Structure 1
């Protein structure tokens, strides 16, 4: 597992399902932010997964709470994980 580029707020953890095709990672959500994950690259030796935090501005100029919580997220691989290394990255966007 390589999570070197992740901010300290993220957990550097991942679990593969019994068949190895589904990988669970941990994103961050809360307040006006939702979490998702996407497989951004797959090769014979590694799988790159991006943890995405999307900010949704409150309607009518309201306020968002600041709390963030861990959210389990699943991604499905084209082939079983096997011995491939997982590389975690993060991205923030506005929805």
Structure 2
């Protein structure tokens, strides 16, 4: 009797192991037909052209500001450093960083003939509250008094409580 339990248990274990090894079937929406995971993987092969990466490419119509024209020495390590201009250089855009309950905004506290200071502000709630643990990178633009031209863009960041 003990031996029969061992044989049945081994058979069940073998059945479970073989079921896990087979490709899973899934139904493609709207077709009524099933495909295996293997054939689905073939149909979703990566394309040869990479997708635009929001934190690394300016929006359509934006002209990326050259890295040599950006002073990002005040930014924390890992902070996005994408800067672009629009509207013939009269509008400047940056990728800011916000997370959880924070909300990003941009200020231009200083504009001179040599540089433009762009302050990226994350405003967080004054009172502690439950927030998600995600990071978002919104693209934000601000108007300049004059076209950027060859002026240096000084990037700074700050966190404030609402």
| Normalised TM-score (structure 1) | 0.90
The structure that has the greater radius of gyration is 2
Gaps of 5+ in 1: none
What does residue 13 of structure 1 align with?
A: 82
Higher fraction of helix:
2
Higher fraction of strand:
1
Q: Which segment drifts farther, 40-49 or 62-71?
A: 62-71
Gaps of 5+ in 2: 1-69
- How far apart are the structure 1 equivalents of 2:149 and 2:133? 38
Give the RMSD, CA atoms, in angstroms. 1.4
2:115 alignment partner, one of 46, 60, 64: 46
Q: When the two structures are aligned, how many residues end up with a matched partner?
A: 93
Q: Which runs of 4+ in 1 moved over 6 A?
A: none
| Normalised TM-score (structure 2) | 0.54
What does residue 80 of structure 1 align with?
A: 147
Return the offset for 1:21: 0.6
Q: Higher relative CO (CA 8 A, sep ≥ 6), structure 1 or 2? A: 1
2:106 alignment partner, one of 25, 31, 37: 37
Write the deviation string for residues 5-58 of structure 1: whole angstroms up to 9, x where unpaired.
101231111001141010110111231100000101000010000000010257
